Amino acid sequence: MAASFDSAPSRGRSARPVGTVTRGTTNTNRLRRMDRWIAHALGPALRSAAAPPTAVDLGYGAAPWTAVELAGRLRAVRPDTRVVGIEIEPARVAAALPYADPPLLTFRRGGFEVPLDGGTAPLLIRAANVLRQYEESAVTAVWERLCARLAPGGLLVEGTCDEIGRRHVWVALGPEGPRTVTFAARLGGLAQPSDLAERLPKALIHHNVPGRPVHAFLTEFDRAWAAAAPYGAFGARQRWAAACTALAGSWPLVDARGRWRQGEVTVPWSALAP
């Protein structure tokens, strides 16, 4: 496949990318749960876009697997979707070049300024395991900067997962700001929902303490999970769905059983915001 590498600054854009280098840890299929949710949530906007939509994998890491996989999953929804992998470390961009497939998949150097040709506004910016290394005080400014780059109807998906993608928590934001928080897990290895607490995004992880909404949510989720133990005889998915059904009595969940059976549950940001 042909390579595409453009590290030179565009007119009006700073030559120095905004941000700092991450550890770069990555694995194949690490972000499959997040990608599955994105394809569902963003599907209508992808299909209705007048021109080929652009998606950004921001901070894809030391290897380009997550960008390659995102491209494949979004093309299943909209075949002409263009994915741009952006990394701040030049060596990582160079290593990704053999996997480029212009114009559908390209790689370039950059950071939170999200350098795209012609002022393109992306329909998606995915920033997975990027902000975890930053101070919490930096998160709001980064969110605002990235949201300002989105196309109308676009999404910023920012969150954290473990090394092999068993446990995820992410925030979905629109141009106006944060909308929802999604918890997703491989249910077969989950002892209780609060095990996901270690993967809370930077904006929430330090607020998982008594008296804060995210702690109250996870505590009640654990209670619902324990009460749903009899459903475990029918499988972990049935137990998770039963726990979510009980949770919906006191928390404003925004999804339904079809998503719960995928090992997900989504809550409005306003319900968990610090």
- Tokens 């209705």 sit at which residue? 48
**Superfamily holding 1-175:** Vaccinia Virus protein VP39 (3.40.50.150)
List the beta bridge partners of residue 158: 127, 171
Supply the pLDDT for residue 129.
Answer: 95
pTM of the complete model: 0.92
pLDDT bucket at 5, cuts 50 / 70 / 90: very low
Contact 17, 130 (CB under 8 A): no
Domain positions in the chain? 1-175, 188-274
**Phi-psi bin for 17: left (phi > 0), alpha (psi -120 to 50), beta?**
beta
Higher pLDDT, 1 or 75: 75
pLDDT bucket at 26, cuts 50 / 70 / 90: confident
List, for residues 131-148, the tens digit of each pLDDT value: 998 999 999 999 999 999
Residue 26, token pair as written in the block: 């990555």
